[in-house]
Amino acid sequence: MTVAQPQPEGLTFECETGNYHTFCPISCVAWLYQKIEDSFFLVIGTKTCGYFLQNAMGVMIFAEPRYAMAELEEGDISAKLNDYDELKRLCLQIKRDRNPSVIVWIGTCTTEIIKMDLEGLAPKLEAELGIPIVVARANGLDYAFTQGEDTVLAAMAVRCPDKAPVAETEKHERNAIQKLLHFGKKKEDVVQEESEYADHPPLVLFGSLPDPVVTNLTLELKKQGIKVSGWLPAKRYTELPVLEEGYYVAGVNPFLSRTATTLMRRRKCKLIGAPFPIGPDGTRAWIEKICSVFNIQPKGLEEREAQIWAGLEDYIQLIRGKSVFFMGDNLLEVSLARFLIRCGMTCPEIGIPYMDKRYQEAELKLLEKTCQEMGVPLPKIVEKPDNYNQIQRIYELKPDLVITGMAHANPLEARGINTKWSVEFTFAQTHGFTNARDILELVTRPLRRNNSLKDLGWDKLVKEDAKV
């Protein structure tokens, strides 16, 4: 009689069906209006939405940010006012004062509830004003606040041109990132550089990243002979990348599943399913996957990754052997956990508001592989976690660090648990080889703070005060 061999245990997934303890997705305006420099964002919602935006983006007294709030009054909600006339009045004012290349309407929960037909109003008003109007329903019905960007990029993907310009000079003019890389160079040098690229199908990357990170990742691919044909979003709306049928696309963030689906179904692009370029390990895996799709042998990546890890050793010494617990907030949890496990940490649980297993398939496989190579238990992934249950588990597990939303940070700190705001990883530069240090700077900050308190002897005073 043969005895069945035990199968290796894989990742376990649970769904606790708790509430979504995250910001509202309209907060995506905070970084998108800065990224797309010729845009204007009009958020259509109630005063509550306006108050939230003020808090999320700061009160800019002297600045003139390219976003505004179209506040719905009782007359709008009871359908006594004409939506088209009101939006036309606002958009005419925006055109007169700012003259943007595109106006993005951000629909909120209220526009969903009262069935405001933004998609029906936009084309008519667009034709009348002569300015493109993109409709994105980035409302609170989404799972995480980062998915606001996903909705906007999915709407913009439909607007990308479907034909590449014929002339080579026009091609450079359309490709903003190539124009940036060629800035200040002689024409002969540019021609020489172009000849160094391998012969591969066009590649477009999607995800909103700061310009230095965009340049960095583009250059990393250039070292492998891979040419990036464009980024979505581009720095300017007028420079949106060309998306022809059969173009290859790759994402840089785990929360862009809707954009990926739109690119595949609506634009007939081919998605490269790769881990995300967060941490040296993720960046190397991301580049290697793109190279493998284009039949290019990657070169120098092992040395590049080893060089980065050597430069992180001072931070890694602080967290090696410690444990980290993710409560779930921004959909970056799996990628960050994988990187921190590679740094020598253990992670008993990854809470995540929503898990798209198809889009994050390569990242999940890399997480599993990382745990096996580091000899640590696989984390449990809890989708839509119930925070009450999570806090009970935190008390039992006693992790060295909890990465959580802002709402739970102070209560946990008051109970002697080290925390880090997950939202900080959203706004920090975390992608690529060179930004791995910034991730560890954030992760180790509460641990370094506690070490400093111990050196000063303040931790004893705090304990004595707690007894009193």
For residue 184 the two structure tokens come to 């200040």
- Sequence-distant (6+) residues with CB within 8 A of 214 are 177, 231
For residue 15, the tally of other CB atoms under 10 A from its CB is: 13
Is 109 assigned a ligand-binding role in the annotation? Answer: yes
Q: Are 46 and 71 in contact (CB under 8 A)?
A: yes
Binding site annotation covers 24? Answer: yes
- List the one residue out of 56, 57, 50, 55 whose CA is nearest residue 73: 50
Give the closest residue to 125 by CA, choosing from 113, 115, 136, 133.
Answer: 133
**C-alpha dihedral, 175 to 178 to 180 to 181, nearest 10°:** 180
Count H helices and E strands in the chain, helices first: 22, 14
As a whole number of angstroms, the distance between CA 241 and CA 176 comes to 9
Helix (H) / strand (E) containing 205 = strand 203-206
Tokens of 441: 């700077």
Distance between CA 249 and CA 257 in Å, rounded? Answer: 12
Binding residues for [4Fe-4S] cluster are 24, 49, 109
Q: What residues are designated binding site?
A: 24, 49, 109
